[in-house]
Structure 1
Amino acid sequence: MRRLLFLNGIKAFEAAARGGSFAAAGHELNVSPAAISRLVHLLEQRLGVALFERKANRLVMTAAGRAYQSGLTPIFDALASLTAQVTAAGHVRALTIGVGPTFAMRWLIPRLADFRRQEPDIDVRITTGGAAVPFGEDWSCGIKLGDGAWPGLVAEPLFAADLTPVCAPRLASQLKRPTDLKGPSLLRVAHSPEDWPLWLKAAGVTRIGARGTEFQFYGQALQAAVDGLGVAMGIRPYIDDDLAAGRLVAPFGSSVPKGMRWYLVYRGFQREQRDFAAFRRWIVRAAAEPAARGKAALRLGARG
């Protein structure tokens, strides 16, 4: 026989632990902070374990509280997802994907027609915000660049984030070796200032520094490179399609690892959900295809 202890108290504790305060939990559950405090206190009495240390103006979870919350939050997430699936029966089947704007424009959106052909009944919704945005509660999954360590989430590798300089074909004809690069022509991305120093060091170039126009996103810098403004630091998989189409050229044909990877990020319980499972199978296959095409284009650029 299943024995469930004081569900209202459990729900109040989980909301307070996740939100960091009784006030945040009260707002979420539409009750007063005092009511949340009473429910949590009763739960602690029934468990015989302290879940919070009450300090001035803040709550600090005990070790027992952290362990309890780490197990409860995925359970509540799974329950919310299951409820949404049941209540949405017969309605639109939707997946919400959190992804940065450049990844959306340069890789995901050009390939979504293929997914739609395979799964015409699944409505894919894209929300953008960039790498700094945390995993959203309403996201089915996310595609993020990082080290794969996101607590509470499953991270499956999709691509290696390799770096290589790219530019328009006309400019590439003037670049025979890395020492031909000029600092003012090296386009920069504001949130990745380490890219050019990393590649230049690997190429043995020590007297050149990137001083070209600075852009907020990789996509802007790559478009500027297509338009002949300068040499951008290309990152896979953003450059695969442009290299294959000849809009961009990798004049030196060499790349260095950025030290991160692209990951498909999701909550563990979603693996068994039909619509997410279909998307996961598709994106893993799609991620494998341009890898070979991008590397082939790099080799052609080097020979050219």
Structure 2
Amino acid sequence: MRRLPPLNGIKAFEAAARTGSFAAAAAELHVSAAAVSRLVHLLEARLGTRLFERRANRLAATAAGRTYQAGLTPLLDSLAALTAEVVAGGAPRALTIGVGPTFAMRWLIPRLAEFRRLEPDIEVRFATGGRAVPFADGWTCGIALGDGAWPGLVAEPLFAADLMPVCAPALAAGLAGPHDLAGGNLLRVAHAPDDWSLWLAAAGLPRLQARGPEFEYYGQALQAAADGVGVAMGIRPYVDDDLAAGRLVAPFALSLPMGRHWYLLHRPGVDGDAAFAAFRAWLVTAARTAATAPARPCRIGPPLL
């Protein structure tokens, strides 16, 4: 016969250890912080060991607590996935993908028909929380740009992000070299203020400042560039399809690595989910194809070395 600890105590402890506070765990479990504290205390008494060091304004897991939480989180994730599968019965398999709006519109959605053809029984749902919500409860997985450091999540690299100016073909015809950007409309993205300065420094123009309309998202700036408003700083893979179709061109040969990558993010316990496994296999293949395909820039004037 199994000798299991009280499951309410397990849920309270795991949530508190994962979120770092009784208050955050209480909000997640829809109970009071006092109830979470009491459940954790009863669990510690049952186990005969302390799981937390309770300090002023801080909750720190003990070594035993860290070990326990590291094993419990994937177990509870697997239990949740199994329960959802059983409850769904014959319903379509589903996965929710957390992704920024520009990545969804400019890369993922245009390729979604291929995934639907391969896996017609999987229902795909998008949660476009953007960078303000890097990973949320209820998401099966997420796709985000960063350095690979997402505590508590598995981060699988997909492809690198490179910067390159892009514009409409008619506008590119007047750009013989990067120096011709001076005085032009350099379209900016509010949450990426350093993109232009990084590229201009690499192009040998560190004193040139980007001046032009500012947009909230890359997608808005790229649409404005396609409409001839100015030159936008493109980021791969956002611009790959537009470059291939000729809607945008990259007038200079310099493509600058950002030093960051796009990652597939997920919790350890979701590995056994069949819908996620199918999506991950397809996404990795699609990303590999995108990473090895040339961006096909339109080089005007002498290439930058």
In the superposition, the TM-score normalised over structure 1's length comes to 0.91
Deviations 1:5-49 (CA, angstroms, capped at 9, x unpaired) = 333322222233345544554555455544433322222123232
* Deviation of the 1:130 alpha carbon: 1.1
Q: Structure 2 vs 1, CA of residues 134 and 148 (structure 1 numbering), >3 Å: closer, same or farther? A: same
Which residue in the other structure is 1:74 paired with? 74
* Deviation of the 1:241 alpha carbon: 0.6
**Matches of 1:32 and 1:282 in 2, distance apart?**
42
Question: The residue matched to 1:228 in structure 2 has which SS?
Answer: coil
Q: Structure 2 vs 1, CA of residues 41 and 291 (structure 1 numbering), >3 Å: closer, same or farther? A: closer
**Matches of 1:264 and 1:282 in 2, distance apart?**
12
**Matches of 1:25 and 1:290 in 2, distance apart?**
40
Alignment of 1:137-286 (within 5 A): 137-286=137-286
**Structure 2 regions of 5+ residues with no counterpart?**
none
* Deviation of the 1:55 alpha carbon: 4.3
Alignment of 1:71-110 (within 5 A): 71-110=71-110
Q: Is the 8 A contact 1:243 1:294 kept in 2?
A: no
Q: Structure 2 vs 1, CA of residues 200 and 67 (structure 1 numbering), >3 Å: closer, same or farther? A: same
* Deviation of the 1:165 alpha carbon: 0.5
Deviations 1:49-107 (CA, angstroms, capped at 9, x unpaired) = 22233345664433433332232222211111111112112012111100000001101
Q: Is the 8 A contact 2:190 2:216 kept in 1?
A: yes
Q: Structure 2 vs 1, CA of residues 212 and 11 (structure 1 numbering), >3 Å: closer, same or farther? A: same
Amino acid at match of 1:208: L
Q: Structure 2 vs 1, CA of residues 75 and 205 (structure 1 numbering), >3 Å: closer, same or farther? A: same
Question: The residue matched to 1:187 in structure 2 has which SS?
Answer: strand
RMSD: 2.2
In the superposition, the TM-score normalised over structure 2's length comes to 0.90
**Matches of 1:200 and 1:155 in 2, distance apart?**
31
Equivalenced residue count is 302
* Deviation of the 1:215 alpha carbon: 0.7
Which residue in the other structure is 2:62 paired with? 62
Question: The residue matched to 2:132 in structure 1 has which SS?
Answer: coil
**Matches of 2:262 and 2:27 in 1, distance apart?**
36
Question: The residue matched to 1:79 in structure 2 has which SS?
Answer: helix
Question: The residue matched to 1:12 in structure 2 has which SS?
Answer: helix
**Matches of 2:153 and 2:3 in 1, distance apart?**
28
Which residue in the other structure is 1:129 paired with? 129
Which residue in the other structure is 1:49 paired with? 49
Q: Is the 8 A contact 1:158 1:262 kept in 2?
A: yes
Q: Is the 8 A contact 2:176 2:300 kept in 1?
A: no
Q: Is the 8 A contact 1:183 1:212 kept in 2?
A: no
**Matches of 1:175 and 1:31 in 2, distance apart?**
62
Deviations 1:159-216 (CA, angstroms, capped at 9, x unpaired) = 2100000011111011111111125411111111111111111111123110111111
Question: The residue matched to 1:75 in structure 2 has which SS?
Answer: helix
